[in-house]
Amino acid sequence: IKDKNKYSELFNKPSMERFVSPYIKEIFFIDKVLFVEGIDDYERIKDRLISQNFVFYNCDIIPIGGIDNNKLERLKFICENFGVDYKFLLDFDYVYKNKNLKNRIIEFFRRKNIDSEIVEILKKQEQEDKEKFKNWWDQNFENFFDEIKKLVNQDIILAPWFDIKDIKNKKIYEKHLDN
């Protein structure tokens, strides 16, 4: 372990109990991993790859049961210390959970003169407004998504859907996964 202090900070006992998942142990037996938020993401993406004859050799997709920054940091730490290449495929609602990314997107929307009501909804982050933003996003994401992806850390793949269970337009899902 390269950084023992960081290890102690990330893996203290009380928070570790919430972190352990039956899938996490797979990390130690593969060379590459795609982390996804939940079982729905895992099933849809794995089915899509299998239908395209993708061969899972020394790689896997692992659902991590939701997302928070501590969990991301822990998984990055494990992968980096054990030489595993990794990416996170996160639903667009991750923007609501990451203050720095949310602020970069708000600034981007302001520069693009996006409807100020939409910017305020994203800024306030009220649960009742989330549906309004989600509807706006579903209608407008193709205009901005490629540029927004550039605002995200390189180890995160931001999906255009808010939550994979909410996908109404299958073309959105298929087009994104094909990339």
**11-22 tens-digit pLDDT:** 665 555 455 566
- In this model, does residue 166 exceed pLDDT 80? no
98-120 pLDDT, tens per residue? Answer: 888 888 888 888 888 887 888 88
Measured CA to CA, the distance from residue 15 to residue 78 in angstroms comes to 15
Taking residues 71-93, what's their average pLDDT?
86
Mean pLDDT of 137-163: 78
Helix (H, G, I), strand (E, B) or coil at 45: helix
CA distance 176 to 72: 22
Tell me which of 73-82, 84-93, 111-120, 130-139 is least confident: 130-139
Q: What is the model's pTM?
A: 0.74
